[in-house]
Chains A and B, each alone.
Chain A
């Protein structure tokens, strides 16, 4: 295991603690919900079949009284089947929304690391990097789904093999 935060810990010569974030209230109309966040900045991390997955997930989560909220950037593809969208918010507001969620689905970005720091259950997709490097470090309840790399992750912003779109939809569904 050579997690990113371990590299920083070695550099600073200290043990790992937990981040502090003063999350800021944001009104949410739902009591119970799942958050989902798409990455728009890194092409290699863009999974294209969320609509299908959400359609399938909906059948399981709706009876449980769970809503689905999309967070992230207004440049993200608009997902069908979500109940609300909260775009382009300050990190601290977004942190508040995530903190009240039952589950977070997304890629290895700052939101998944935040979810990990509060031990929120999450499903994380890894397409251009090993999960051991960039997974939620503090999570006890995290499901990691790797792209089907031919050999190794591309470690690049753009994946010429487009492995992220080859993620198994059923696997994502089941893990969720």
Chain B
């Protein structure tokens, strides 16, 4: 039987990110079944980057060539390129997957759902959402994604309330063998290594970002410290980014010696736990100078070391504003710690008794701009739940811990998640690639039913004219309904769609069709988008251009209404219609593996129209003769 080909699209599997780790787990699981041809599509890496050729499965990068990237003018182009926007079509055409699995933030898939291949192959989106109300683009995507998965159940519930029963929860996967509770003796030894003994250690593992509620954590701990003098707070994070923890300690009058942190030596790769004492410390183990800093994403502990850090803790506390999955919560559970988690967003899944967790109460605030609901965790709730765990007997705590570990095994282990994906893949049909990759045509000739100002009319136009699936929740439908309220008629909307269709059905210029058949290697382009004066003046230079390049055919690339100012010059081989995509020397002349279309391409108006820099107050003094 032919193996199905699976294309898995996310961060590179060796990236130290939540997406990267999850992808590694899933790829490994699918690969080990030996049932599939597994291909990785790695975000943020070049298509044929040699560094990504070290995986057991085929791996291709989502970025076009370095030359193409260097030509991208704005950050947004580079951002979407990193997500694969420029290479996904090539990847699909080349790999021909039976199943495409995209695992990223939803905006990474912008434009994918209108691709000609999207509904022709089996596609699955597995995305993180962290706040309510659900992101508009994620709602817009709902009618367009048949296999739509979110990492946390609060998002599934929100989709269900909107009528989308097909959106399901599939949690990010963890390798549960990495994190384990060590024996009591081992834990004791571990503590003694860092001059710790019977302290009650509250732990928090996090990247020092503002969405991690450090001030709230400190307030809650301060209350707890009053009741439990032997308490310590271990903040496994980097102190040189995000929250200024030192300043917060000072402000809240918390003794610095009560706050522990993880130091990591980037030379000997050992870690140390102690109160914060600055950065760039000398390593007491390998004696390297200035090699020790608080753990960070560049130089940080590996997973087995992180497991030891969890094993130093008596309880794990994770207050946050919102999050997609919060992997440290599951890691802590795997080490059989009772976990206190803010009861919002993905935290809802990990703060109940069944999950070996306790909820932290929170107050709502709104994020400026997005208006998303965010949680400010109540310090009093942190204190109460810490006290609850503190007052548990060791047997009770152990029972909660066992439950916590089992919850993660049952709900997040790579075996569980991988099996669900495997079953899904097996139920999907093999894809017949006998379909066109041309853009799906729009239909300006569609005759709609009698125009109304209703939702159904809008949805019908999108479906039959634009070939887009939308529904009552889609932002575009809501937009047009608002316009109807302001006085727009259904006929106006139909006319608008007709115009849009006509614009989009215009055939883009195919260079091969307009270039000479026998002048390859001898083509010279002069790109002058506008204006009449520019064309006319350049007309006055062509005799000498031809003299310099006698074997070359001269192509003038401009807007059609300008042809008349230059086409009569006998040295012009052809006038070609300009489009903005032509504004790129590497497209015209080639770069890397791309040969290009022209031997030479000139952009003379770049200093006179695009970036006016030739005026010099009329005082330029040219040393050589131009006439």
Contacts and interface: CB of A to CB of B under 8 A. Distances in A.
A143 B226 CA distance: 92
Interface in A1-49: 1-2, 4-22
B602 A1 contact: no
Given A110-B533, A110-B536, A11 B564 contact: no
B536 A113 contact: yes
Given A6-B622, A11-B602, A155 B612 contact: yes
Interface size class of A (residues with CB under 8 A): 35 or more
A50 interface: no
A62 interface: no
Interface string A78-118: 00000000000011100000000000000011100110010
Contacts of B625: 15
B541 A21 contact: no
Interface string B538-582: 111111110110000000000000001110111000000000000
A12 to B, nearest CB: 6
A15 B542 CA distance: 9
A109 B532 contact: yes
B562 to A, nearest CB: 9
A152 B569 contact: no
A22 B615 CA distance: 31
Given A15-B625, A15-B626, A21 B568 contact: yes
Given A4-B614, A20-B570, A12 B539 contact: no
Contacts, number: 120
Contacts of A11: 602-604, 606-607
Interface in B309-334: none
B340 to A, nearest CB: 63
A74 interface: no
Interface residues of B, number: 41
B76 interface: no
Nearest to B533: A110
Contact of A14 (B539, B541, B564): B541
A175 interface: no
Interface in A107-141: 108-110, 113-114, 117, 129-134, 137-138
Nearest to A13: B548
24 contacts: A1-B618, A2-B615, A2-B618, A4-B533, A5-B541, A7-B604, A8-B538, A8-B608, A10-B622, A11-B604, A12-B526, A12-B604, A14-B545, A15-B626, A17-B540, A17-B542, A20-B570, A21-B539, A109-B532, A114-B536, A117-B536, A130-B618, A132-B618, A155-B612
Given A110-B533, A132-B618, A155-B612, 7 more contacts: A2-B619, A7-B607, A13-B548, A19-B540, A110-B532, A130-B618, A152-B617
Interface of B: 526, 532-534, 536-545, 547-548, 564-566, 568-570, 602-608, 612, 614-620, 622, 625-627
Closest 7 CB pairs of A and B: A2-B620, A19-B539, A14-B544, A130-B618, A17-B543, A22-B568, A132-B618
Interface of A: 1-2, 4-22, 90-92, 108-110, 113-114, 117, 129-134, 137-138, 152, 155
